[in-house]
């Protein structure tokens, strides 16, 4: 059995999916529908980025989704996914939206509108440069949480990415204060991330509450593919459960390590990462050696299917 993974923010680069766009009509049609739904020229941002918008949260999320789904559509039409026994999809943070469209839980147009709103809300949630995130290398999430509790640090775990990589969120001054404490307590490397705000923390609660209304109004359909949600890290094919998890995703941590463990429990054997970069493949390999992993980022990667 096979599961498909979709990347999140941080995987973007100028020119992602351009070779698919130039060679496959289905890829081009994805771009056109996203642009019609949002009135954002994602093609110009992704392929040229003349105004340096690709790394701005209010554009990044929609652009990564567009690139990822445009690649998926090519794979779906050029190869027989049924023969690959694809029955589970998941994504990292915004990648969950890519999974929902690819599994036919929500429509492309609805997803594009939701991600435009999500990007805007997260971008405006707090003044720029007042909050942020940092990656901690060397300890697992339980150890990191113990340090936070024991020292009473005002930061939160945002991403539980692997047994040796945890991302924290918080106000910049609190993140800066925590650096030496973490390094003195077993963290090998402390890296502040180039993001505009403290994603997946309680600083996103107001944005999440606004997003709730729009997700509630979105129609979620049944399909044969199950979803592993970031919020619960549990596999489900129940539309209401999947919707509820998506509503609670923005202000809560991404349980990536637990999500991959859930794939193991459900006896998945093959993973396909679809979208820009190979970040998720690297994280999976740090979590377990149980899977055969294929990453599809550029057209030449399609040879891996042959």
Which tens digits make up the pLDDT trace of 150-192?
Answer: 999 999 999 999 999 999 999 999 999 999 999 999 999 999 9
Ordered structural domains, the chain, with CATH: 2-125+201-305 (3.40.366.10), 131-192 (3.30.70.250)
* pLDDT at position 132: 93
- Report if pTM > 0.85: yes
Rounded to an integer, the average pLDDT of 30-46 is 98
Question: Which pLDDT score, from 0 to 100, does residue 15 have?
Answer: 98
Question: CA separation (Å) from 260 to 221, 267, 293?
Answer: 24, 11, 12
> How confident is the model over 66-76, as pLDDT tens digits?
999 999 999 99
- Comparing CA positions, the residue from 74, 70, 50 lying closest to residue 62 is 70
pLDDT mean across residues, the chain: 95
**Calpha distance 229→40 (Å, rounded):** 28
Q: At what angle do helices 205-217 and 108-124 cross, to 10 degrees?
A: 160
The closest alpha carbon to 255, from 111, 140, 101, 97, belongs to 140
Q: How far is Cα 129 from Cα 283, in angstroms, rounded to an integer?
A: 27
| Contact yes or no for 239/222 (Cβ under 8 A) | yes
The whole-number average pLDDT for the span 255-259 is 98
Backbone angles phi, psi at 81, to 5 degrees: -65, -25
Q: Which DSSP state fits 127?
A: -
Give residue-wise pLDDT tens across range 102-161.
999 999 999 999 999 999 999 888 887 899 999 999 999 999 999 999 999 999 999 999
CA nearest 254: which of 283, 225, 294, 222?
283
Residues involved in catalysis: 93, 200
Region 38-62 average pLDDT: 95
Mean pLDDT of 183-204: 94
DSSP 32-83: HHHHHHH---HHHHHHT-TTS-TTSHHHHHHHHHHHHHHHHHHHHHHS-TTT
């Amino acid at each position: 059995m096979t599961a498909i993974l979709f990347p999140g923010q941080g995987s973007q680069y100028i020119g992602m999916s351009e070779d698919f766009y130039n060679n496959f009509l289905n890829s081009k049609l994805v771009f056109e529908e996203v642009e019609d739904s949002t009135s954002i020229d994602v093609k110009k941002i992704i392929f040229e980025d003349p105004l340096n918008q690709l790394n701005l949260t209010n554009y990044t999320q929609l652009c990564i989704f567009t690139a990822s789904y445009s690649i998926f559509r090519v794979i779906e039409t050029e190869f027989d996914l049924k023969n690959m026994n694809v029955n589970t999809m998941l994504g990292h943070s915004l990648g969950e939206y890519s999974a929902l469209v690819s599994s036919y839980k929500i429509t492309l147009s609805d997803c594009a509108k939701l991600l435009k709103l999500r990007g805007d809300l997260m971008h405006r949630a707090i003044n720029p440069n007042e909050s942020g995130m940092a990656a901690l290398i060397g300890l697992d999430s339980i150890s990191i949480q113990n340090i936070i509790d024991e020292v009473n640090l005002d930061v939160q775990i945002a991403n539980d990415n692997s047994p040796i990589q945890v991302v924290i969120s918080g106000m910049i001054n609190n993140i800066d204060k925590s650096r030496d404490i973490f390094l003195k307590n077993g963290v090998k490397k402390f890296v502040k991330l180039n993001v505009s705000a403290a994603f997946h923390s309680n600083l996103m609660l107001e944005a999440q509450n606004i997003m709730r209304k729009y997700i509630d109004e979105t129609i979620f359909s049944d399909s044969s593919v199950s979803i592993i949600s970031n919020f619960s890290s549990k596999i489900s094919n129940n539309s209401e459960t999947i919707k509820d998890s998506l509503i609670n995703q923005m202000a809560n941590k991404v349980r990536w390590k637990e999500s991959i463990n859930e794939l193991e429990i459900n006896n998945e054997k093959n993973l396909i990462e679809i979208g820009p970069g190979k970040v998720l493949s690297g994280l999976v390999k740090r979590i377990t050696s149980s899977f055969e992993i294929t990453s599809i980022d550029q057209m030449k990667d399609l040879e891996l299917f042959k």
